[in-house]
Structure 1
């Protein structure tokens, strides 16, 4: 857990990387590890990312990850006014409370969810997976059809190699390397880490413009407890939104910020350095991790990009998300829950202690961080199969990810489509072989199918309306 927290701190400090990059950096190193230790490392990293990404958002005005975008609106003006210490302190305190609430909700919902999950059969799980793909494809990026196409690209990449129910090999030609498909760690690092590093090198500037973190730490903690109802509302919103597959970190901070503005009596300070504009998104950003783990563990549907990589990590460890997480793998589930709670506590205190040295480190040119990260990623990529094909695939996918980012195409749906594709094939094969076509008349299947169609139609209309107003 402590190792994961250390990685999470480093990745969170570097702007634009986020939980998907951190998770993909750790993924190659979990081979052969004890499942409990491996999940503790992955969850420790994921939990602290949502706290550490506050540093670049407040000190630089650049989001540390997708979930810290709204923090900039008031956090960066506070830093420019000499209140960086107060802003960071309020953010860390709110993150701690939000993370603990997310972990407690996850723990409390397990007994309730157990009979529900066990009642789901393969046709229901198949339709839930399809619903997750529809939501993810539409809610990622400005253009809904780009999100859907990106999801399909991820599914196509996952089809490389052996089929799950037969011994045939698909789309591999004469390549022995592709027979086992593209490793998840390589796809995740190539899609997310490489494009961010290329952009950091292209900017060729120091990471931060603020050299010292001011005083005001006690004031920030007081602000959090003074606005405790805002913290609780934001955390509850974070858990609820995180539990909906596809919404995740890129939305929850803005929703939380919006409800903070709407519920405030005096709205004049927002956008100019109001501490409530820091507390609300940071609380919900940490709480969403607990919510996102609910569909990930219980249904095998990732609630966010980070949990999509975690889902792949669980599968690599031989753990199948779904009903088994509440029966034979219950110890793994409880390890995840309590690691999430402990990592939030340790991560928040680590951020408090490391604030001043981190602020000084952030003045180092970003170009000096890039070689270190590239070496770690190349070693991690080669470790997958110890073949040169790993390095070639890493470079090719990295360039592909950079093109997607450059042309404003969403990358998260590619990854989630890749992760969910085996589940789609497996559940569809089991449903067809066990029930024939009669499962299509199942009432739950019909309801989920109608909901999926409704999500697509509503999402397309909402996006078109938003673009039209813009």
Structure 2
């Protein structure tokens, strides 16, 4: 094994193969900077060019691109609050606030170094785990995949800060959004509204860019200031070095999150888009003082997200090489390269083709080192982009977002999806509803329903007693009820919590909660007409969402927080909608009059709607 690893390294070190690796790295970084494009598109574009290459050169090119796309994703996430890809959405929560405070250099260098350490860890994990995990992976079936998905969706409570009911409502709504389209069991059209575009469901990319990207650009227009001031850039090189030191100071966090990224990435069928949220939630629960600082510019949030994000690439190679089962969409395209070069995934890759397998390991490790080095060298220049006037940033970033959203299915519906969820995301941000649970629900909703029906058809109900399933379900239940237990403890016990209720009071933020109740209720009523198999999961999820939304409204109207017990009505209302009620980016426009915010926000979305209308008539 050591001889094969050494042979693979020497083969990969030949100049022409290093050139292909470097070319792949550069292309991956460029694609990572452009929101919505991602490594999937780049890998598909490069695959035909590998026909006449040897396997070492071909995989160096393809894996160089795939491994470094995630390294480039933090650049737009930190500088503009725009996720470079679905897997870097969690980076926005702390990276963008750091940029606003003039710490863009520190955030970017921390992202690059943690990406490097996570990526190398993922490659090492792949190298040592393929022979070990091969027999273990055979015990993981659809019930275990379902349990992993349920565990992932239980993170909505963690990602909701001190508003778990709002988080559960948003997460369940995300699951319902994921079920829009044709039901795979019965062919029933669910919530399609006679639109052909919705038959295949809503694509993730325009939805993600809408929920996270457009609201930040809208707030940039409303505030009419640069993202960061020039004074904050005075010590940019010092901040850059501080980001590196942060990573070494929190090396144990990087190791844990890399384990999460590599482990989840090695499980086929679990979307890579959820890895960074799981790692972020883990850091939020385990790091000292994280609940008070995460979401406000804590470098540990950036480190947790990015280390897991890059580690998942090495993890995704494990089932691809060992079983021929792609660990991600990009790995599915990589299987095409196996066929092109006459390689068969499976036992042969661990015996007679072991040197090629280790060449893949070295390619991932070296690509992460090269990609992080390039990004680190140019991060001072990247960081200065945050000081540009908003009139320069808005049109450039808007154009890139539209291109990224249109790449999903290349239909007009992608742009309408972007615009609609951009408005929804902006309203959620203004009323302090957590947006991460919504995305988590969209990512995992289809997975949960698919593996639920497969498990029932293959195993009946006996799968619920499998040891791994029982363990994961127990962890999921614990994750959901933990915020309630913490709430009871913070109120001084159940008795004192029950006495903290008062006469109902009204606040404008409750209007959005009422809208959510009406929307979910209408969706549940519409689902009653479907076939049983098509409606059972939407009905259950919708009922949970409806109950959580009603309880949330009651809590907002009748509950008086302990911190506001000694304050008057005005201060109490502020606590009800204050910073402590959600885990998300905080709007910088709170100092402006409400009328001004509404007018400028309406101008922004009115312009986008007008642009769409004009383009549709051309």
RMSD: 4.8
* 1:137–1:147 CA contact under 8 A, matched in 2: yes
Distance in 2 (CA, whole Å) between partners of 1:377 and 1:4 is 18
Provide the C-alpha distance between the structure 2 equivalents of 1:42 and 1:380, rounded to a whole number of angstroms: 18
Please list the CA deviations of residues 295-335 of structure 1 after superposition, one character each: whole Å capped at 9, or x if unmatched: 87889xxxxxxxxxx9985599698xxxxxx859x999999
Q: Which residue of 2 aligns with 1:418?
A: 442
**3-state SS, counterpart of residue 30 of structure 2:** helix
In structure 1, what is the equivalent of residue 55 of structure 2?
none
Q: What is the rounded CA distance, in whole Å, between the counterparts of 1:340 and 1:236 in structure 2?
A: 17
Matched ranges for 1:336-351 at <5 A: 341-351=365-375
From the superposition, tell whether residues 294 and 43 of structure 1 become closer, same or farther in structure 2 (CA, over 3 Å).
closer
The match for 1:322 is none
Q: Distance between the aligned counterparts of 1:142 and 1:399, measured in 2?
A: 24
Q: CA deviation at 1:412?
A: 2.1
Correspondence list, 1:190-201, <5 A: 190-201=210-221
Compared CA separation, residues 250 and 367, structure 1 to 2 (3 A): farther
Within 2, Cα distance between the matches of 1:40 and 1:423?
A: 29
Q: Distance in 2 between matches of 1:116 and 1:257?
A: 34
Q: Tell me if structure 1 keeps the 8 A contact 2:109–2:241.
A: yes
Name which of 85, 99, 117 aligns with 2:137.
Answer: 117
Q: 2:241, 2:429 → 1: CA distance? A: 36
Query: Which of 270, 276, 279 is the matching residue for 1:248?
Result: 279
Matches within 5 A, 1:409-448: 409-448=433-472
2:192 aligns with 172
Q: Is the 8 A contact 1:99 1:283 kept in 2?
A: no
Deviation (angstroms), 1:154 = 1.1
Return the offset for 1:184: 1.6
Corresponding residue of 2:482: 458
- Superposed CA offset, 1:192-251 (max 9, x none): 111111122222212332366558669949984xx9963533432443565686443366
Larger Rg: 2
**CA shift at 1:400, angstroms?**
1.0
Within the alignment, does 1:210 sit opposite 2:230 as a pair? yes
Q: How many residues align structurally?
A: 412
**1: CA distance, partners of 2:317 / 2:107:** 32
In 1, are the aligned partners of 2:70 and 2:310 still within 8 Å (CA)? no
The runs of 5 or more residues in structure 2 that have no matched partner are: 1-24, 48-58, 82-89, 265-274, 291-297, 320-325, 336-344, 491-560, 564-579, 581-618
What's the CA shift string for 1:50-75, capped at 9, x where partnerless?
58867799xxxxx97324479789x9
TM-score, normalising length: structure 2: 0.54
336-345 vs 174-183, greater mean Cα deviation: 336-345
Measured in 2, the distance between the counterparts of 1:381 and 1:53 equals: 16
The C-alpha deviation readout for 1:275-313, integer Å capped at 9, x for no partner, is: xx97x77655543334566887889xxxxxxxxxx9985
1:274 corresponds to which residue?
none
TM-score calculated relative to the size of structure 1: 0.69
Matches within 5 A, 1:195-344: 195-210=215-230, 213-214=234-235, 220=241, 224=245, 230=249, 232-240=251-259, 246-249=277-280, 252=283, 284=304, 286-290=306-310, 313-314=329-330, 327=346, 341-344=365-368
Cα distance in 1 between the residues matched to 2:366 and 2:230 = 31
5+ residue gaps, structure 1, are: 12-21, 58-62, 260-276, 300-309, 320-325
